[in-house]
Amino acid sequence: MCGIAAVHDRRPTPERLEEGRAIGRRMLDALHHRGPDGRDDRQVGPTWLGHTRLSIVDLAGGRQPLTCEAVSGSRWVAANGEIYNHADLRARFAAEDGVAEDALFATHSDSEIVLHVLDRLGTDGLHRLKGMWAAAVADEDGGLVLGRDPLGVKPLYWAEHDDRLLVASEIQAFPAEARPRVEEFPPGHHWSSSDGLVPFADLRHDPLGDGAGIGPVFTTREEAHEAIRESVVESVRARMMADVPVGVFLSGGLDSSIVAAVMVRLAEPGQVIRSFAAGTPGSPDLVAAREVAAYLGTEHHERVYDDADVLEALPEVVRTIESYEPTLVRSAVPNHLLSALAAQHVKVVLTGEGADELFAGYHHLRDLEPEALADALVEGIEVLHHLNLQRADRTSMAHGLEARVPFLSRELLETAQRVPLAWKSLGQDHQARAQEKAILREAFEGWLPEHVLWRRKEQFGDGSGTGAVMARQAAAFVPEEEWGDVRFEGLPPARSREELGYQRVFAEHLGGTRAEQVLGRFATV
């Protein structure tokens, strides 16, 4: 997990390249929090690449930007995220060449596999990378390739400015004068200086990207239970890949509790699984998380906070998540405080993000007809990259912590799409209990206490008690006399005094009216 930046000059001269390096290094300064363990940059032809590193895999040899002479010493990569199947691809490529892996690969870093995939398969091969990633690959001849994982778990933004293409992991890294042109790089796409922007993933019809489409619909609930359980276990197993300790965010709700239960079962002998929870005193999340941690035997840690802690954190949270949407801010506050706690003990955490989108866990989905529900679920997955995933990435990376999301593997997405929609709806006669995500709950019977397994869903901001704090303190965000009279140019009218307060922080953070006119689209649902 890291921060990346790139400056690609379309009119490279020695003077412009020197200026571009200075721009890039200032951009990298703004991404230090994403990679506090190291920093490096390199000029590769007309492209400057920069990288701040959070050391997770190959602690000694994974410094970036990196290259590999066995592939092409003129091509360099700067990548953010984790590629979980890099070991499988390494073994396959070495076997194809009839050589030992060490003869083919320069490092043990998962990011190096990007160079080998491009060398062997071209940009069409990027669909084979399984994980959460965003990457920039430059070569001395002037070529540049950008790519982002299909679900957009890892962020990437770009902008054209002064005949340069600027690229970075976060909006705040861009120079103020370039921010009016900043756009989000679309998930599941690659771009090259030769071919332009090209999609390589189709989550609706071919989530695995292997051309086989979606498998047959499950015909029995038992068949679905087994497939769901196997997919979840394998997704968690892949995301426990690390050369550093791995923990879990545990709210006591269904999704994070399942992840924690699987991690405990997969742990090596003597391996400690550390769990982390946050909330106001006596909040439902804290109480439930304690019970689950005790049941599973995790080493449990808590961050208990009050109204004053929430109000103090709010401005930093808005700046961190680069959004002013109230529900996102509310859920980000406990994430922010939780990440600060977890970063004192681990460098990687697994979370329960994504299960609601796969298995219809939201209350507003309960009355939809099957066809409408199918569309709503896929649309929910497709927009996660600028909602919950943006919140999860920013709040964790602000503290040098990597958050991994096992429910959002493409394999699990394909499995979930094979579950009949009627089994995802609420209140079917054959369900043991009329409850959202019943099929997921049934798949993990016996893994958790029964009442935890069937605990009703609460939004993170509500279960942690943060929503109640916001309700009590809304008047503190904006004075009464300003409500209705203040509006920030380029942003939609605030729906509440609370949202107007967040808009003010957001606008000030991103630096003026020109930025607001463009960046408002990144901050709204």
Q: Is 324 exposed, middle or buried (0-12, 13-18, 19+ CB in 10 A)?
A: buried
Q: Are residues 398 and 371 part of one domain?
A: yes
pLDDT at 487: 76
Give the CATH number for residue 414. Answer: 3.40.50.620
DSSP 146-189: EEE-TT--S--EEEEETTEEEEESSGGGS-GGGGGG-EEPPTTE
pLDDT at 327: 86
Q: Please state, as a whole number, how many other Cβ atoms lie within 10 Å of the Cβ of residue 430.
A: 8
- CA 205 centroid distance within chain: 22
Residue where a domain stops, chosen among 455, 472, 489? 472
pLDDT at 516: 39
Nearest to 325 by CA among 82, 190, 122, 501: 501
Q: Are residues 505 and 386 part of one domain?
A: no
The H-or-E segment that residue 133 falls in is strand 131-139
Residue where a domain stops, chosen among 454, 472, 490? 472
Segment 128-155, tens digit of pLDDT: 999 999 999 999 999 999 999 999 999 9
Q: Are residues 228 and 91 part of one domain?
A: no
Residue where a domain stops, chosen among 430, 450, 472? 472
Q: Are residues 175 and 45 part of one domain?
A: yes
Q: Are residues 354 and 483 part of one domain?
A: no
Q: Are residues 495 and 457 part of one domain?
A: no
**210 found inside a domain:** no
Two tokens at 18?
């020197």
pLDDT at 460: 53
Two tokens at 160?
């054209």
Q: How many CA atoms lie within 13 A of 286 on its CB side?
A: 16
Q: Which residue has the tokens 């590193």?
A: 53
Q: How many CA atoms lie within 13 A of 248 on its CB side?
A: 34
**205 found inside a domain:** no
Amino acid at 133: W
Nearest to 259 by CA among 284, 282, 234: 234
The H-or-E segment that residue 77 falls in is strand 72-83
Residues of the chain below pLDDT 50: 428-432, 512-525
β-bridge pairing 144-148 and 131-139: antiparallel
**Does the annotation count 2 as an active-site position?**
yes
**206 found inside a domain:** no
Q: Are residues 438 and 514 part of one domain?
A: no
Phi first, then psi: give them for residue 48, nearest 5 degrees: -95, 130
Give the CATH number for residue 96. Answer: 3.60.20.10
Any bridge partners for residue 77, and if so which? 66, 137
Segment 305-328, tens digit of pLDDT: 988 898 889 889 999 999 898 888
Task: Give the integer Cα–Cα distance in Å for 216 and 197.
Answer: 32
Number of domains in the chain: 3
**213 found inside a domain:** no
**176 found inside a domain:** yes
- CA 115 centroid distance within chain: 23
- Would you say the C-alpha torsion 252, 458, 328, 334 has a positive or negative sign? negative
Amino acid at 81: G
Range of the domain at 326: 221-472
Q: Are residues 234 and 289 part of one domain?
A: yes
Q: Are residues 50 and 171 part of one domain?
A: yes
Q: Are residues 229 and 88 part of one domain?
A: no
Has 210 been labeled as part of a binding site? no
Q: Are residues 132 and 97 part of one domain?
A: yes
Task: Give the integer Cα–Cα distance in Å for 168 and 147.
Answer: 12
Q: Please state, as a whole number, how many other Cβ atoms lie within 10 Å of the Cβ of residue 197.
A: 11
Catalytic hit among 1, 2, 144, 377: 2
> Which three-class secondary structure state does DSSP give residue 209?
coil
**106 found inside a domain:** yes
**207 found inside a domain:** no
Q: Are residues 241 and 126 part of one domain?
A: no
Task: Give the integer Cα–Cα distance in Å for 311 and 303.
Answer: 15
**19 found inside a domain:** yes
pLDDT at 237: 98
Q: Please state, as a whole number, how many other Cβ atoms lie within 10 Å of the Cβ of residue 495.
A: 10
Q: pTM surpassing 0.95?
A: no
